[in-house]
């Protein structure tokens, strides 16, 4: 038997198996497929996704949406539900995502059942835990893929933390807002497409992990231009003050406990005194101002646990002189550093950073070269005697490591591979790698540039492109609004002799 004949026989066998699989669906499962597909299609109205396709029957869905979505709508959801015996089944007539909910860990979507009786029969094909009263409309939680959630969190950080800009500057925050909307739409697609291809060989995950390497400049970009606010550190030592009164020669608790800020007084104590601090002790009592608290009777103060939490130690005896000195400096200078922010060098030339959780400085254990100039933020440069030009050159050099020189006109892989069982792991990896290369060579000044925030944006887009290609989705509808128009605008600016970075991108 020839190789071609063998392949045809294998394809015929796969088609027969797939037909048998579709024939095994119950009427209830078919109803779910149609309802879910119609809801999904409604979400895509106005975005170019299946606008003219009629999805009125199970056959319409199979013919129009392909095997990947059917697999996601039915098979994967049933498998997820079966893993948890406390999940029940009910007939779903419609569902959709709630766009108003942006919980950090979950997305909420609504489910409508055919009747109250069908709800009582349980949940089928949702992959979600039922919440609330049993009625005809209920909310359930649907967990996001971790990597995609991380992307959304990063974009949220850009929206919140990117500095304000002057007139005529590139509005990266505006671009981030557009990207956030793209990711929000993409979440629905990725969730439906997850499980479309088997990944037993781990090649998809490997390619996605490698794509994450391209975002290393993001941390620099996200904090570019931020400066300390000059406020006190958020973390303080709050002692518990318990007022008492004498009753039959016994001190009895009265009123409620009051939290008292004793940070400055604790940090002014010698280290050995801090080691000896004990609750309801003379040294501890001296930390509070009774006159300010308006109390002239007995009392006791609890502070040892709070001091340990402040320094991040298990016992007071674990507090070191270096910890105490760092805390005093932070309190006296009253800066508000970002977590892991570089604040200078120690006596041995090692990079010192800020621990936002504990409110203390710590030693990174690395020289500046080992730490990496590209990891610095712009407002940290003067603290380690680095010029801005040197820093920008380091960021560009680091970005260049992720750029692969290829011909721009790389032929695209056949789109049919997105839904055919012959779409191999190697083809998936090639498609993802090709997507990243296309971004990198689209405009070299954007991929390897002097602006770390611009490079970070390219990295995010590469990540999103990876996701789309990993699951057979066309990213053109997303990138057109997020970035393509901006590149076109920049090209027009160059044509008219203007400076590209002084134009606000057109979205």
pLDDT value of residue 25: 64
Residue 181's alpha-carbon distances to 36, 187, 193, 194, 215, in angstroms, are 22, 10, 19, 20, 20
The token pair that represents 252 in the structure block: 């009895």
* Domain range annotation of the chain: 3-143, 147-216+402-502, 229-336
Dihedral (CA of 347, 348, 350, 355) sign = negative
Cβ atoms 339, 235 nearer than 8 A? no
The token pair that represents 288 in the structure block: 């509070």
pLDDT value of residue 483: 43
Residue 58's region, left for phi above 0, alpha for psi from -120 to 50, else beta, is: alpha
Sheet holding 351-355, edge to edge: 342-345, 351-355, 360-363
Per-residue pLDDT of the chain (507 residues; tens, 9 = 90+): 455 555 566 566 666 666 766 776 666 566 666 766 776 676 665 444 455 667 778 777 777 766 656 665 565 445 544 443 233 333 333 333 343 334 333 333 334 444 444 443 433 333 333 444 444 444 333 333 344 444 445 444 444 443 444 444 444 445 444 444 444 444 443 333 334 444 566 554 444 444 334 333 333 333 333 333 333 345 778 888 888 877 777 777 776 677 787 888 888 888 888 888 888 777 777 787 765 566 777 888 888 888 888 888 888 888 888 888 877 776 654 445 677 888 888 767 888 887 766 666 677 778 888 888 877 877 788 888 888 778 777 766 665 554 333 222 323 333 433 333 333 334 434 444 444 444 444 434 333 333 444 444 445 555 555 555 555 555 544 444 444 444 555 566 656 654 433 333 332
Residue 207: closest CA among 413, 419, 430, 472 = 430
pTM equals: 0.26
pLDDT value of residue 280: 72
Cβ atoms 158, 190 nearer than 8 A? no
Dihedral (CA of 191, 110, 133, 125) sign = negative
Helix ranges (H only) for 101-255 are: 116-120, 146-161, 172-193, 203-212, 218-222
Residue 120's alpha-carbon distances to 39, 87, 112, 467, in angstroms, are 23, 11, 13, 37
Q: How far apart are CA 448 and CA 402, in angstroms?
A: 9
Q: DSSP secondary structure string, 332-383?
A: HH---PPTT-EEEE-TTSPEEEEETTTTEEEE----HHHH-GGG--GGGGGG
Helix (H) or strand (E) holding 226: none
Q: DSSP secondary structure string, 43-85?
A: HTTTTTSSTT----SHHHHHHHHHHHHHIIIIIIHHHHHHT-T
Burial 130-162 (b: 16+ CB within 10 A, else e): beeeeeeebebebebeebbbebbebbeebeeeb
Distance between alpha carbon 359 and the CA centroid of its chain, in Å?
24
Neighbouring C-alpha atoms within 13 Å toward the C-beta of 358: 19
Cβ atoms 119, 136 nearer than 8 A? yes
Distance between alpha carbon 309 and the CA centroid of its chain, in Å?
28
pLDDT value of residue 83: 43
How long is the chain? Answer: 507
For 255, other C-beta atoms within 10 Å of its C-beta total 10
Three-state secondary structure call for residue 433: helix
Residue 73: closest CA among 121, 43, 32 = 32
Helix ranges (H only) for 194-278 are: 203-212, 218-222, 263-267, 271-276
Q: How far apart are CA 35 and CA 424, in angstroms?
A: 31
What confidence tens digit (pLDDT) does each residue in 378-411 have? 778 888 888 877 877 776 666 555 433 322 232 3
Structure-derived torsion over alpha carbons of residues 200, 202, 208, 213, reported in degrees to the nearest 10: 170
Q: How far apart are CA 485 and CA 503, in angstroms?
A: 13
pLDDT value of residue 424: 38
Task: Provide φ and ψ at 304, rounded to 5°.
Answer: -60, -45
pLDDT value of residue 139: 38
Query: What residues form DSSP beta bridges with 300?
Result: 242
Task: Provide φ and ψ at 261, rounded to 5°.
Answer: -75, 110
């Amino acid at each position: 038997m020839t190789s071609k004949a063998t392949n045809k026989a294998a394809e015929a066998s796969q088609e027969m198996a797939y037909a048998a699989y579709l024939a095994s669906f119950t009427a209830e499962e078919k109803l779910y497929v149609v309802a879910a597909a119609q809801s999904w299609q409604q979400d895509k109205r106005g975005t170019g996704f299946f606008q003219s396709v009629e999805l009125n029957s199970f056959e319409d869905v199979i013919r129009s949406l392909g095997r990947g979505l059917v697999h996601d709508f039915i098979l994967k959801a049933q498998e997820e539900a079966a893993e948890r015996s406390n999940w029940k089944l009910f007939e779903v007539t419609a569902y959709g995502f709630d766009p108003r909910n942006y919980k950090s860990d979950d997305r909420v979507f609504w489910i409508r059942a055919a009747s109250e009786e069908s709800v009582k029969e349980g949940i089928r094909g949702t992959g979600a835990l039922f919440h609330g009263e049993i009625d005809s409309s209920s909310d359930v939680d649907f967990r996001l893929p971790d990597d995609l959630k991380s992307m959304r969190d990063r974009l949220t950080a850009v929206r919140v933390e990117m500095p304000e800009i002057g007139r005529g500057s590139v509005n990266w925050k505006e671009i981030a807002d557009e990207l956030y909307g793209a990711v929000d739409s993409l979440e629905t697609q990725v969730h439906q497409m997850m499980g479309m291809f088997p990944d037993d060989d781990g090649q998809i995950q490997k390619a996605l992990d490698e794509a994450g390497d391209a975002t290393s400049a993001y941390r620099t970009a996200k904090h570019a231009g931020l400066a300390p606010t000059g406020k006190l550190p958020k973390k303080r030592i709050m002692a518990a003050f318990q007022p008492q009164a004498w009753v039959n020669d016994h001190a009895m608790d009265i009123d409620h406990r009051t939290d008292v800020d004793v940070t400055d007084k604790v940090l002014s104590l010698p280290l050995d005194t801090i080691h000896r601090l004990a609750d309801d002790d003379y040294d501890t009592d001296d930390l509070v101002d009774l006159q300010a608290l308006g109390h002239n009777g007995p009392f006791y103060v609890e502070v040892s646990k709070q001091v340990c939490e402040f320094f991040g130690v298990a016992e007071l005896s674990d507090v070191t002189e270096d910890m105490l000195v760092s805390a005093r400096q932070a309190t006296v200078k009253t800066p508000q550093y970002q977590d892991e922010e570089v604040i200078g060098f120690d006596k041995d030339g090692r990079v010192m950073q800020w621990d936002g959780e504990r409110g203390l400085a710590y030693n990174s254990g690395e020289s500046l070269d080992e730490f990496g100039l590209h990891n610095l933020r712009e407002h940290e440069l003067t603290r380690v005697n680095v010029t801005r030009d040197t820093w920008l050159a380091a960021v560009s050099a680091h970005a260049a490591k992720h750029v692969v020189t290829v011909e721009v006109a790389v032929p695209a892989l056949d789109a049919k591979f997105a839904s055919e069982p012959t779409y191999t792991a190697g083809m998936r990896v090639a498609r993802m790698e090709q997507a990243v290369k296309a971004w990198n060579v689209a405009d070299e000044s954007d991929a390897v540039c002097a602006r770390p925030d611009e490079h970070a944006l390219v990295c995010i887009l590469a990540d999103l492109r990876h996701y789309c290609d990993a699951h057979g989705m066309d990213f053109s509808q997303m990138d057109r609004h997020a970035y393509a128009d901006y590149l076109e605008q920049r090209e027009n600016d160059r044509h008219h002799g203007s400076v590209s970075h002084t134009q606000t991108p057109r979205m």
